[in-house]
Amino acid sequence: MNDKILVTGGSGYIGSHTTLALLQAGYDVVVLDNLSNSSAESLERLECICGIMPEFVKGDVRDRDLLDKIFTDHNIRAVLHFAGLKAVGESTQQPLDYYSNNVLGTVTLCQAMANANVLNLVFSSSATVYGDTTQMPLREDIPTSTPTNPYGRSKLMVEEILQDLAKSDPRWSIALLRYFNPVGAHQSGLIGEDPNGPPNNLLPYISQVAIGQLKQLSVFGSDYPTQDGTGVRDYIHVQDLAEGHLSALKAISLKPGINIWNLGTGIGYSVLEMIRAFELASGRTISYCVVDRRAGDIAECWASASKAENDLGWTAKRGLTEMVSDAWRWQEKNPNGYRR
């Protein structure tokens, strides 16, 4: 019998790509998602790509009775926990929603896992837990510092809760995966990022300008101490990220305790470099204007990717051209995302 994995938030952007990678690697998958920021259409598209649909349970990760039922009905070996809210700006307007979904959601999940004796967990953390340090590249042993917004603080809180949990009971095996900037889409163009309303993140914004849904990109600041004055980030192809989860899942089954891994490429690109790469891939001109810096943004941020490489044997394989070409293919084939 195949190992069965529970994927919370599995119909979302990163969750759907990781569910696909799990199915293709022979795992059985149960997806739990309340569809607050995604569409179940993404799971149907997985069937078009790999011929298998994961089992889907529509529900909330804070619903303890539902979690207990899932663990009773299925022989779950491990949980990949993506479910949560992720918009930095919105988190400052609705902090309680962020603490409820992200922190309470994780605590409820862990309680249900402990009750079911399922003690392998992979958690979606973020480079935001490094705060505004300027020590690049960011290594996992740099002390975390308090992020500037409720979203980031919820991620750091969960990291700390999970560290306490692992200390309290050595049978837990937990991976804290600190993502850098996930971009791109599966090369089929069938699944991808489908933001609700105007995107907050750079690449979906550029894509929507390219397709003509948005007029102009605002470049947030050109006076940073970087090569061209615009912000630099470590963009990582979502399929590389998905593969990183599979590697982490395998590693924690042999490595109890807390394991922290950056999932990034180790390479930073500026906003202007991203625009140029997208223009080349799409053959479209991206109209942009430079505006003031966005509050809370840092000048540059990229990962040290060597711990994941040493411990997991995983590195990101896809470069910038593949990231922007795949993002564009998804956008062109699905101008309205999953809404037909």
Q: CA-CA distance, 242 to 183, in Å (whole number)?
A: 12
How many CA atoms does the CB half-sphere of 104 hold within 13 Å? 11
- 12 touches ligand NAD (CB under 6 A): yes
Q: Residue of minimal CB distance from ligand UDP?
A: 231
Which range of residues in 83-91, 261-269, 316-324, 327-335 is near ligand NAD by CB under 6 A? 83-91
Measured from the CB atom, is 54 or 150 closer to ligand UDP?
150
Minimum gap (Å) between residue 308 Cβ and ligand UDP: 19
Choose, from 151, 179, 205, 224, the residue flagged as catalytic: 151
Q: Which of 141, 61, 137 is nearest to 102 (CA)?
A: 61
For residue 175 the two structure tokens come to 């991976």
Q: Which of 210, 240, 226, 250 is nearest to 330 (CA)?
A: 210
- 84 touches ligand NAD (CB under 6 A): yes
Instruction: Please list the residues that pair with 123 across neighbouring strands.
Output: 81, 176
Which of positions 51-70 make contact with ligand NAD (CB under 6 A)? 60-62
Based on the residue annotation, tell me whether 13 is a catalytic residue of this protein.
no
Binding partner of residue 271 among ligand UDP, ligand NAD, none, CB under 5 to 8 Å per kind?
A: ligand UDP
Binding partner of residue 185 among ligand NAD, ligand UDP, none, CB under 5 to 8 Å per kind?
A: none
For residue 99 the two structure tokens come to 């603490």
> Using CB atoms within 10 A of its CB, is residue 290 exposed (0-12), middle (13-18) or buried (19+)?
middle
Q: CA-CA distance, 14 to 200, in Å (whole number)?
A: 16
Binding partner of residue 231 among ligand NAD, ligand UDP, none, CB under 5 to 8 Å per kind?
A: ligand UDP
Chosen residue from 189, 294, 307, 315 binding ligand UDP by CB under 6 A: 294
- 87 touches ligand UDP (CB under 6 A): no
Measured from the CB atom, is 253 or 285 closer to ligand UDP?
285
Chosen residue from 13, 205, 224, 261 binding ligand NAD by CB under 6 A: 13
Minimum gap (Å) between residue 267 Cβ and ligand NAD: 17
Q: CA-CA distance, 294 to 200, in Å (whole number)?
A: 11
At residue 257, what is the residue type? G
- Which x/- pattern, by CB under 6 A, does the window 173-192 give for ligand NAD? ------x--x----------
Question: Where would I find the H helices in the chain?
Answer: 13-24, 41-50, 64-73, 88-93, 95-98, 105-116, 150-168, 202-211, 238-252, 271-282, 306-312, 320-333
How many residues bind ligand UDP, per CB under 6 A? 14
Q: CA-CA distance, 130 to 156, in Å (whole number)?
A: 9
Task: Please check whether residue 276 is in contact with residue 242, taking contact to mean a CB–CB distance below 8 angstroms.
Answer: no
Q: CA-CA distance, 249 to 169, in Å (whole number)?
A: 19
Q: Residue of minimal CB distance from ligand NAD?
A: 12
Chosen residue from 34, 173, 265, 325 binding ligand NAD by CB under 6 A: 34
Which of positions 133-172 make contact with ligand NAD (CB under 6 A)? none
Four-point Cα dihedral 287, 293, 299, 302, nearest 10: -50
- 121 touches ligand UDP (CB under 6 A): no
Pairing of strands 288-291, 217-220: parallel
- Which x/- pattern, by CB under 6 A, does the window 165-184 give for ligand UDP? ----------------x---
Which range of residues in 41-49, 62-70, 149-157, 201-209 is near ligand UDP by CB under 6 A? 201-209
Instruction: Please list the residues that pair with 120 across neighbouring strands.
Output: 173
Active site residues: 151
Return residues touching ligand NAD (CB under 6 A): 8-9, 11-15, 33-38, 60-62, 82-86, 101, 105, 124, 126, 179, 182
Return residues touching ligand UDP (CB under 6 A): 181, 200-202, 205, 217-220, 231, 233, 271, 294, 297
